[in-house]
Amino acid sequence: MNHSRIDLSEFEIKQLARRFETRGVEEILEWAVARFSPSLAMTSNFGAEGVVVMDHLARVAPETPIIYLETGFQFPQTDELKERLRARYGLNIITHRAELSVEEQNRIHGERLYERDPDLCCRIRKIEPLAAALKGYDAWVAALRRDQSPTRANIGVVEWNARHNLVKINPLATWTRRRVWDYIVTNDLPYSPLYDDGYASIGCVPCTRRVMAGQHERSGRWDGEKKLECGIHL
């Protein structure tokens, strides 16, 4: 394992994952900030889980950069929530965009690429911009849960991310969807109104639909495709 500027071995990362498996979000974030700041960043599309992590992070280190990938296809409610959170917590939100505008992408690859080749669209609008955004950081906080999908079932609270060559911290790894929403309601946190309109996981407009009763929460993403991830996390 090549850790670049990071002096943690694979064994140490596994030890940290075990150590923090049962710890609270704030304790995990306090360790991450003490260990990695100022080379620590969070990524978020301002979903419910991200709001929970930001509520904790604002108490620990509100200056931590929060990377937002503006794809050009996001819901207006996502951008509205972003500004509400910035105002509420004084967050350091940094917006990153793809090298190609939507119009340039349409000209080069044809319109509605997200329907014809969703993997390529995600690569252009999310994966490549995130790779550029994370350069220079040693650790990355994400708001993933193990029960969100089979692809996330084995994430560690602390793990090594080989794609970006940094440590990834998932402080909500052990949380359930119910626990996330209990926290939001109990603490009166802002959240996207799309959740009240039948959406369970919110991404880009063309690739997100409402979820029917009994369906898995990420079943509304890339409807009809054998795809559960855009590729930025796994």
Q: Which residues are catalytic?
A: 230
Among 109, 145, 178, 137, CA closest to 25: 145
End-to-end CA distance of the chain: 17
Distance from C-alpha of 4 to C-alpha of 120, rounded to nearest angstrom: 29
Beta bridge partners of 69: 96
Tokens found for residue 92: 């350091």
How is residue 98 written in tokens? 């793809």
CA distance 179 to 30: 21
Q: Is the peptide bond before 150 cis (omega within 30 degrees of 0)?
A: no
The one-letter amino acid at 119 = D
